Amino acid sequence: MTAPRESRIFGLAGILPAGVVLLMIAFEYTGQTGFALAASVLAIIAVAIFSFGVRASRVAFVVIAIGLVFWAALTRSDWAAATATAAQRGAMVMALFAALTAIRNAAMTAPEIVECGRFLARQRPGLRYTALTIGGHLFALILIYGSISLLGTLATESAVHERDPEIRRQRTRRMMIAIQRGFASTLCWSPLGFSMIISVSVVPGASWAAAALPGIASALMMLVIGWGLDALYKTKGTPQMRPKETERWLVQLRPLLILLGAVMIGVALLHAAAGVEVIGAVMSLVPAIAVLWVAAQTPPTGLTRLAHVRLRTSRFVMEELPGYRGEIVLLFMAGFIGSLGAYLLVPLVQAQGLDMTSIPPWVIIAAMVWIIPLTGQLGMNPILAVSLLVPILPAPDVMGIPPTAMVIAITSGWALSGATSPFTASVMLAASLGGVSPMRAGLGWNGVYILVAGAVLTLWSLLLMSWL
């Protein structure tokens, strides 16, 4: 395909993920399987088209998925139903990603949000890490990976003004670490994150409502541990004097806090009042807030607010979503392969005579915290790891493990992987902005952090197992 023709095809294909969002919302609210089936078909078509414009590493996942389908067809009589279930899992992941991308797109052009990030980045040295790690957490609840891109860019811009190259390097490193750890801590509890949504969906009897408070406690532990380790790091040299920041925190953070309140309260109310699962609440509410947010922004000269919304919506569907085709292919395949792979592995594990119920429950909980970051070092996406490994285990009640304790162990491991795996988007973004390799930005910057935080989170998960 020529470049212009390829661009047009990918642009039109952006309609497909948008359609998947609408169909999955309809399925979440009605329970009609026809909507889920239609969403799965659109998702598969989207992946087929986008696969022609992604790296070979992404195409490899597609080849693996096709191989699993053939394996299932040759060995199992109910392979078609299992494949449909796997496609539905992939469509759900695709829909969630597209919905979250919508609000990220709206936020990145909001002047008040950019100014909020700039305010955090220009804090004095003694307060900067705290500001950026808390700010990174708050931004990541809405922008997900976009928080690292936005805050990281503003932080590196701020560091440029430092004359001493060594102090500039150390300052950039500390700011990027703060943003990384703030982002990773959201994976412990955020209802908008893949970590909580996937974990709740694969652990029988689990719910976000039950796991939210213990997850918030996990996030606080990660933030405090990060702050404590940073306090041990002493910057060498004398930093350039900077004018004292006089702006009030609540004034500067108000736009972000209002947005967070609207999203979190809205998701909780929809979940409780409408009886829809958290993922359905997120997929339906977040794009609506994104549209309203764009409508509230000052339109370019010559455009009405309605015309501005139409233009931004068109660009989002035809340009933004196709621009994320690599991520869309990877995320769909992680969900698909994890679901179908678990379906094929369970009989094999049973055939080996392995009795998972004989394993002490505390070993299972501890393993969940550490297996996910370990597989992340090997390039396995946490969605794939969790979707593949957890279904192999017996139900939590059979193993004598409270579902909430299992979810907290999984999301804790997911968070540790998000801070250290050189293959995750968060670490790769931090590495790019920090001017280092992903391996350096992952284990190099956070090696001690993952050991300390992992030990504390393991103990916390074990305590929950005995308390709940």
pLDDT per residue of the chain (468 residues) written in tens, 0 to 9: 555 666 677 878 899 999 999 999 999 999 999 999 999 999 999 999 999 988 888 899 999 999 999 999 999 999 999 999 999 999 999 999 999 999 888 888 888 888 888 888 888 877 889 999 999 999 999 888 888 888 888 888 777 666 777 777 888 888 999 999 999 999 999 998 999 999 999 999 999 999 999 999 999 999 999 999 998 865 555 555 555 554 577 888 888 898 889 889 998 899 888 888 889 999 999 999 999 999 999 899 889 999 999 999 999 999 999 999 999 999 999 999 999 999 999 888 877 777 778 889 999 999 999 999 999 999 899 999 999 999 989 899 999 999 999 999 999 999 999 999 998 888 998 998 888 999 999 999 999 999 999 999 999 999 999 998
**What is the share, in percent, of the chain residues with pLDDT greater than 70?**
95
The pLDDT score that the predictor gives to residue 409 is 98
Q: Is residue 242 part of a domain?
A: no
Q: Crossing angle, helix 194-202 and helix 382-389, to 10 degrees?
A: 10
Q: Is residue 145 part of a domain?
A: yes
User: What is this structure's pTM?
Assistant: 0.91
Q: Is residue 243 part of a domain?
A: no
Here the tokens at position 140 are: 């990541």
Q: Is residue 209 part of a domain?
A: yes
Distance of alpha carbon 221 from alpha carbon 264, whole angstroms: 21
Any alpha helices (H) in 187-304, and if so which ranges? 194-202, 208-232, 249-269, 278-296
The pLDDT score that the predictor gives to residue 160 is 67
The pLDDT score that the predictor gives to residue 247 is 59
Residue 436 exposure: Cα atoms within 13 Å on the Cβ side: 19
First to last CA, the chain: 58
Residue 6 exposure: Cα atoms within 13 Å on the Cβ side: 10
Rg of the chain's alpha carbons, rounded to an integer?
Answer: 22
The pLDDT score that the predictor gives to residue 463 is 97
Nearest to 278 by CA among 187, 206, 334: 206
The pLDDT score that the predictor gives to residue 8 is 74
Q: Is residue 129 part of a domain?
A: yes
Q: Is residue 358 part of a domain?
A: yes
Q: Is residue 238 part of a domain?
A: no
Q: Which amino acid is at 149?
A: S
For residue 262, the enclosing domain spans 3-233+248-467
Nearest-5° angle of CA 212, CA 216, CA 222? 145
For the chain, the domain total comes to: 1
The pLDDT score that the predictor gives to residue 109 is 84
Q: Would you say 189 and 211 are in contact if contact means Cβ atoms under 8 Å apart? A: yes
The pLDDT score that the predictor gives to residue 239 is 52
Tell me the Ramachandran region of residue 207: left when phi exceeds 0, alpha when psi lies from -120 to 50, beta otherwise. Answer: beta
Mean pLDDT over each residue of the chain, to the nearest integer = 89
Which residue reads 């594990």 in tokens? 349
